[in-house]
């Protein structure tokens, strides 16, 4: 029997949306106030959904403590209270929430092996959220 487990985590980070491939005017027109040279911050909520069979012995898809420990060590420690523009994964790409969501997905997908990663959802504001379920989902 396959079940899904979703867990939410909070972190704060800043970024400036700016593309070196565009002029100052294009950046301002595209990103508006998010192109502020001093950046701006968000209190993000990241939701990770994993799935798998329910273990008959434990009654769980995976142990929450294992998922929490992984997320703290591999995701939250990397992004919490950071300027996203200064991180290696955003040296060549704009640190939009879409790109951040895909980066988090790749970290979890590459290294968390105790359950199958279904998706990552990242809430930037009460009005904006982004979801990524991997390359295979894009082809459907």
Listed in sequence order, the DSSP H helices in 1-140 are 24-31, 64-71, 77-79, 97-111, 135-138
Of 15, 42, 123, 124, which is the active-site residue?
A: 124
Q: Which residues lie closer than 8 Å to 118 by C-beta, 6 or more apart?
A: 4, 49, 50, 51, 133
Of 4, 40, 72, 81, which is the active-site residue?
A: 81
Active site residue 81: yes
The rounded distance, in Å, linking the Cα atoms of 80 and 12 is 5
Active site residue 34: yes
Of 34, 116, 118, 131, which is the active-site residue?
A: 34
Catalytic residue annotation: 34, 81, 124
């Amino acid at each position: 029997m396959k079940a899904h487990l979703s867990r939410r985590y909070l972190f704060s980070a800043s970024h400036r949306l700016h593309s070196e491939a565009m002029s100052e005017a294009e950046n301002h027109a595209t990103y508006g106030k998010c192109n502020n040279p001093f950046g701006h911050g968000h209190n993000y909520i990241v939701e990770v959904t994993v799935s798998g069979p329910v273990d008959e012995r434990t009654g769980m898809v995976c142990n929450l403590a294992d998922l929490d420990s992984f997320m703290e060590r591999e995701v939250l420690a990397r992004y919490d209270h950071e300027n996203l523009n200064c991180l290696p994964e955003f040296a060549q790409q704009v640190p939009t929430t879409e790109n951040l969501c895909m980066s988090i997905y790749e970290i979890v997908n590459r290294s968390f092996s105790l359950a199958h990663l279904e998706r990552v959802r990242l809430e930037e504001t009460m009005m904006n959220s982004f979801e990524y379920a991997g390359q295979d989902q894009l082809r459907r």
